[in-house]
Amino acid sequence: MTKTLLRALGGETLATPPIWMMRQAGRYLPEYRATREKAGDFLSLCYTPDLAAEVTLQPIRRYGFDAAILFADILLVPQALGAELWFVTGEGPRLSTVTEQRDFDALRPAGEVHETLSPVYETLRILARELPDTVTLIGFAGAPWTVATYMIAGRGTPDQGPAHALKDGNCVLFEALLERITAATIEYLSAQIEAGAEVVKLFDSWAGSLNDEDFQKYALAPAREITAALKKRHPGIPVIGFPRGADTRYAGFAQATGVDCVALDNAVDADWAAGHVQTDGCVQGNLAPEHLVTGGQALVDETRRIVAAFSGGPHIFNLGHGITPDADPDNVARMIDAVRDR
């Protein structure tokens, strides 16, 4: 039998939607924390295939999700392009910046990312062997705009101000950087598919900060280019797009980009999305992550409400953003039960 997640991505409406969860391998799980400690630091965990595969498998063993998503980070692509990358405990990632032409000129060509990223491909090969036959393996990358915001600012920012400033002040350099990231992302995701990924997802975490014109140029257009290139190289490969914060611009995103599924953040009303986004195909989402902290009947009720809202078309149940470190693992089990046993 075809895997349920692939059936949903193919446009099938299922009585019970497949379930997985963004950041399902993460700090809320004690087994993850133990493996992270064994690795020593976050980047070592990403680049040690046996350990990265282990943390990817942990939530599958514990919960029986319908999909496993590769454990990695969207900032591995900038590192593979030649940016310096490190993580500050309690604060997050830091990168050397690209703000001038000489910074851009020092980057590697897109085709030269594979040596750095080869451990990620080995992780996928391990997972392709070890995952249960019913579980879909998802690869991923950051979308070019979101990756560019980190490369320009050197860190996450509240409003992506440095990226907007470069875009408005030196559009030639900004667009050259976006093109380089786009080309590298195609290479990276294509290699992930060759290593065993059955689906790939583009995370555009900061798409919502783009105005309508820039959203078309810097969120829609790169997603369309990446999707078309992957489907040309790997016919039939499903692509999930996640332009977080897109609001009403989620409508039409699938048609404009060619993605097979649109992931929705939890600011979007499920009933609205059913009538304006799901009409074009599969949707994914969109429970608010805080429900996995607070739990209770509200968790069950909201989970069931979302499932009901999307019951008329293809749907993958997920959160509207990644699960948070303070989530209760028992609430994840309650969420799954509410989807499957409602």
| Active site members | 23, 27, 36, 73, 150
Structure token digits, residue 268: 């979007």
Q: Work out whether strand 92-95 and strand 85-88 pair parallel, antiparallel, or are unpaired.
A: antiparallel
